[in-house]
Chain A
Amino acid sequence: MVSVTSMSFIIALYIFMLAAFTGYVVISRVPSILHTPLMSGSNFIHGIVVVGALEALFNATSWPAQLIGFLGVFLGAANVMGGYVVTDRMLAMFRPSDKNKNANDKKGQQ
């Protein structure tokens, strides 16, 4: 029992370690002009917590647990939806100038 648990904890540490490096590498190449949408985008991604909150609510057995679970799902859903809408709105506004677009097209043709 003990050995199984500690093994899975070690695996968890491996996952955490790899995920941490992934996050670091992915972000370190983002230009500062995208920092605000990026913060909001990563904010959207941790909205996945709603999945855990849903599972917890499904397993609730008392009304206090149901109440808090309800709150958790509500908050998580708002995190997901709000994060997505706000990020999408911001990113949709970024566009290159026409002049440059043409230049790129020409480059593509050559």
Chain B
Amino acid sequence: MFIESVVGLAGLVAAALFIYGLKAMSSPVTAVKGIVTAGYGMVLVIAVSFLNIFRTTPEAHPHLLVNLGLAVIAMVLGCVWAGHKGRTVQMTEMPEMVALYNGMGGGSAAALAAVALMSSHHDVNLLHLAITFLGALIGCISLTGSFIAWAKLNGTIRKPTRFSGQRVFNCLVFVVTLVLGLFTIFSYGSPVALLPGILFFIAALFFGVCMTLPIGGADMPVVISLYNAFTGLAVGLEGYVTDNPALMIAGMVVGSAGTLLTVLMAKAMNRSLTNVLFSNFGDSSGEGSGPEGEMKSVDASDAATSMNYASSVIIVPGYGLAVAQAQQKLYEFVKLIQADGVDVKFAIHPVAGRMPGHMNVLLAEAGVPYDMIYDMDDINESFATTDVVLVIGANDVVNPAALTDKSSPIYGMPILNAYKARQVFVIKRGQGTGYSGVQNSLFFQENCTMVYGDAQKVMAEMVEAVKALGHS
């Protein structure tokens, strides 16, 4: 009874710290404090949960020492492996890392359900069983789905797998999974339930694979966010099954927050959630007819000179910047022209980088202060009154065709209004198209000039050019 109270109170404190921590993460000023606070809650609740060893079921008593040993080994292995991975991962590879950790959480929830089903045969209640299975189903989907997302993002799986009748096939897999689950629930406790129970888990895992395979790489951030919400939901449901309100609260908070985040992301990408899940886009490489005309180009040093003499510059970075590892050079250039009195701002499109907010992390890594970085909504008015816009490694997010050309696949996507500026420089490796495969009509505009070359090399040349000006 005493232990139960201690465990329960620790869970309560942890849940409060989690919510406080998430809240603190809503501002960059307090965000670090937020994650540390949530971390204290986690340490507390995990440490105290080891007290549960003293209130196991009588059937488990002969196995206590082995179970405790296994638990300690698993904790240490998991922490050491993930801690090492997390400390060494490149910032550019963050999206797949989040996917991986998230899948593991889903797997943990599914494993928890499986063990609970295997161990306790008393206290059988249809509702309990149904919720256990629902949590297990969602956890399994999150596990294998996240792993497929991880493989897609790090390039292990390059092409979406699609075949005719795939949707029907996926539906069939899902229905089979449900039937197996129902059969197990109604025969639970008898030996007949074992085989369909095992098959249920296999089918659920398989469904996660089927569901994720046909989704294109461009939609992966939304999918990861969705699976993040799924894992939260699974954790919440398993929390109910194991009578643990801390799990219920933490899981459901993440479940709803993750769902909201998913919707926000999908909206920013101009994709509805149903579109992401059930239509095949995200890797279309159709040759858009596109605008015709001449693209002008100019040397890096000339572009640098005109930015140095401008009064205001907005920089639009895209993932291409990070691919070329040019963030440091870019910021060095920015500091130089800032010293000459140029007003410099960074404009971030909601889908810049590989997932929303990713570009901010990459710029922060290069030392760019966050108050120089503006969201699309905050800065879009300013483009018309800006002297120079520098676009680096971004393409579709500044394509005015999204506003005007109804036949364009990206029509309707909100863009950064870079085309309104007096002068636009675009640093680009070659004349190719962007992620969507659409030609960019901005590049053919009168006020737009291309600077061809690798972003890092171009930025180095720009730094040199400005330094040369300073000495003259």
A, B assembled together: yes
A residues whose Cβ falls under 8 Å from a Cβ of B: 5, 9, 12, 15-16, 19-24, 26-62, 64-66, 68-98, 100
Contact A34–B49 (Cβ < 8 Å) = no
Contact B357–A32 (Cβ < 8 Å) = yes
Nearest-CB residue, chain B, relative to A101: B369
- Cβ of B468 < 8 Å from any Cβ of A? no
Contact B32–A30 (Cβ < 8 Å) = no
Further contacts, 9 of them, CB under 8 A, given A20-B255, A88-B39? A33-B373, A33-B375, A36-B94, A60-B67, A69-B115, A82-B100, A85-B83, A90-B94, A95-B370
Q: For B53, B250, B355, which residue has the most chain A Cβ atoms within 10 angstroms?
A: B250
Residues of A near B350 (CB, < 8 A) are: 32
Given the contacts A51-B247, A70-B74, A79 and B118 also touching, CB distance less than 8 Å: no
Nearest-Cβ distance from residue A35 to partner chain B, whole angstroms = 3
Given the contacts A54-B52, A66-B63, A73-B78, A80 and B46 also touching, CB distance less than 8 Å: yes
Nearest-CB residue, chain A, relative to B375: A32
Rounded to whole angstroms, the CA-CA distance of A75 and B101 in the bound complex is 8
- Cβ of B232 < 8 Å from any Cβ of A? yes
Given the contacts A50-B46, A76-B104, A91-B32, A71 and B111 also touching, CB distance less than 8 Å: yes
Residues of A near B250 (CB, < 8 A) are: 45-46, 48
Contact A79–B369 (Cβ < 8 Å) = no
Residues of B near A96 (CB, < 8 A) are: 28-29, 369-371
- Cβ of B70 < 8 Å from any Cβ of A? yes
Interface of B is mostly: helix
Q: CB within 8 A of B256: which of A23, A61, A62, A87?
A: A23
Q: CB within 8 A of A75: which of B14, B87, B108, B247?
A: B108
Nearest-Cβ distance from residue A49 to partner chain B, whole angstroms = 4
Rounded to whole angstroms, the CA-CA distance of A12 and B108 in the bound complex is 22
Nearest-Cβ distance from residue B251 to partner chain A, whole angstroms = 6
Q: CB within 8 A of A92: which of B32, B77, B225, B251?
A: B32
CB contacts under 8 Å to A, within B38-70, are 38-39, 42, 45-46, 49-50, 52-53, 56-57, 59-60, 63-64, 66-68, 70
Nearest-Cβ distance from residue A8 to partner chain B, whole angstroms = 9
Contact B98–A86 (Cβ < 8 Å) = yes
Nearest-Cβ distance from residue B51 to partner chain A, whole angstroms = 10
Contact A51–B45 (Cβ < 8 Å) = yes
Contact B231–A46 (Cβ < 8 Å) = yes
Given the contacts A15-B252, A38-B25, A48-B250, A94 and B356 also touching, CB distance less than 8 Å: no
Nearest-Cβ distance from residue A88 to partner chain B, whole angstroms = 5
Nearest-CB residue, chain B, relative to A40: B98
Q: CB within 8 A of A35: which of B53, B75, B356?
A: B356
Q: CB within 8 A of B26: which of A34, A65, A95?
A: A34
Contact B35–A52 (Cβ < 8 Å) = no
Nearest-CB residue, chain A, relative to B350: A32
Q: For B38, B224, B365, which residue has the most chain A Cβ atoms within 10 angstroms?
A: B38
- Cβ of B254 < 8 Å from any Cβ of A? yes
Contact B35–A84 (Cβ < 8 Å) = yes
Rounded to whole angstroms, the CA-CA distance of A69 and B231 in the bound complex is 18
Closest 10 CB pairs of A and B: A77-B78, A72-B111, A35-B357, A85-B86, A82-B82, A97-B369, A76-B108, A19-B252, A36-B357, A23-B256
Rounded to whole angstroms, the CA-CA distance of A17 and B15 in the bound complex is 15
Q: Could you list 21 A-B pairs, sorted by A, with CB under 8 Å?
A: A19-B252, A19-B253, A24-B260, A26-B22, A29-B26, A32-B356, A33-B375, A35-B265, A39-B355, A41-B34, A43-B105, A47-B105, A51-B244, A54-B50, A57-B71, A61-B57, A62-B118, A82-B101, A86-B101, A90-B361, A90-B364
Residues of A near B49 (CB, < 8 A) are: 51, 54-55
Interface-lining segment among B212-220, B235-243, B305-313, B399-407: B235-243
